[in-house]
Amino acid sequence: MGQDPTFWADIPAGHDNPLNFAVTSRDRTVIEMVTDAVQNDRAMLAYQAIVPAGAPNKPAFYEGLIRVMDSTGRIIPACDFITEIETTETGRLIDCIALEQGLKAMHDYPDLRLAINMSARSVGYARWMRILRDGLRADPTAGERLILEITESSAIVVPELVISFMTEMQSEGVSFALDDFGSGYTSFRYLKQFYFDILKIDGQFIRGVARDPDNQVLAGALMSVAEQFDMVCVAESVETAEDAAFLQGIGMDCLQGYFFGAPTVRPPWDTDAGESATA
């Protein structure tokens, strides 16, 4: 027999609800896994190219995507843990590691232009800010080669703080990218104030765009927003030649996705790194 449909309705909300308990337990397990990886030096960047739509053979810049290795040796992408750790101390430490490793890569490879993800919450985190300021002071070219990526959902948590931070850092040459645009709730009022340099269209509007009339309209509309605010527009999650050709045809500035290469923990610009390991 099937379960009584009133079963869940009769269970009070909160920790007594088995579903809530399962979700809370999973979140706790994820946080513990990431914390263990951070404490045991098992966090690293995976690099993925962002290419000009009209010249895909030479990357415009790379994105450094944070990864952690669990106790079994599996490399775990940020999408599997970032939501759970976003508001925690572990989230701030992950941002510190990403920035520190990104700045080191830029120092080691002076021609490298690199985008690093961050949470708006890290702007108020002393250790993260110290890493950023020290990195900019140590390398006079770092500012003009560094791109900080902030998701729209993160940016609107503390908009005034983010706007002030962006203004300060842009004066030192740092660029800012609005990540996953279209997936959250950014107010256009804030968009006018933030002055992002790059707008990255969320992959849900890009996958299959060559054959999806709805995505074609939405991608075009989001491109128009980027153009209006004088931002470079990047299409995320480009996975097929057909989609890449369509996006180039409508004037997209840059493309990012598995069609041009999976993220790799071995820097693709390092000829001594050997064969790439995707992550």
3-state secondary structure 157-185: CCHHHHHHHHHHHHCCCCEEEEEEECCCC
Considering the domain boundaries, does residue 26 fall inside one?
Answer: no
Whether residue 274 is predicted with pLDDT greater than 80 in this model: the reply is no
Considering the domain boundaries, does residue 265 fall inside one?
Answer: no
Q: What is the pTM of this model?
A: 0.88
pLDDT of 17 = 61
Number of domains into which the chain is organized: 1
User: The domain containing residue 122 runs over which residues?
Assistant: 31-260
Considering the domain boundaries, does residue 13 fall inside one?
Answer: no
- How many Cβ atoms are within 10 Å of 196's Cβ, its own excluded? 25
Least confident of 1-5, 68-72, 82-86, 229-233: 1-5
Mean pLDDT, residues 165-192: 84
Q: Residue 180 — very low, low, confident or very high, per pLDDT cuts 50/70/90?
A: confident
pLDDT in tens, 30-58: 999 999 999 999 999 999 999 999 999 99
Considering the domain boundaries, does residue 67 fall inside one?
Answer: yes
Considering the domain boundaries, does residue 23 fall inside one?
Answer: no
CA angle at 25 for the pair 20 and 28, rounded to the nearest 5°:
125
Considering the domain boundaries, does residue 220 fall inside one?
Answer: yes
Considering the domain boundaries, does residue 278 fall inside one?
Answer: no
Whether residue 3 is predicted with pLDDT greater than 70 in this model: the reply is no
* CATH number of the structural domain spanning residue 70: 3.20.20.450
How large is the greatest C-alpha to C-alpha distance in the chain, in angstroms? 70
Considering the domain boundaries, does residue 132 fall inside one?
Answer: yes
Q: Contacts from 35-39 at CB under 8 Å and sequence distance 24+? A: 35/90, 36/70, 36/71, 37/68, 37/69, 37/70, 37/76, 38/68, 38/90, 38/93, 38/94, 38/97
Residue 66 · residue 263 · CB < 8 Å: no
Mean pLDDT, residues 12-38: 73
pLDDT of 194 = 87
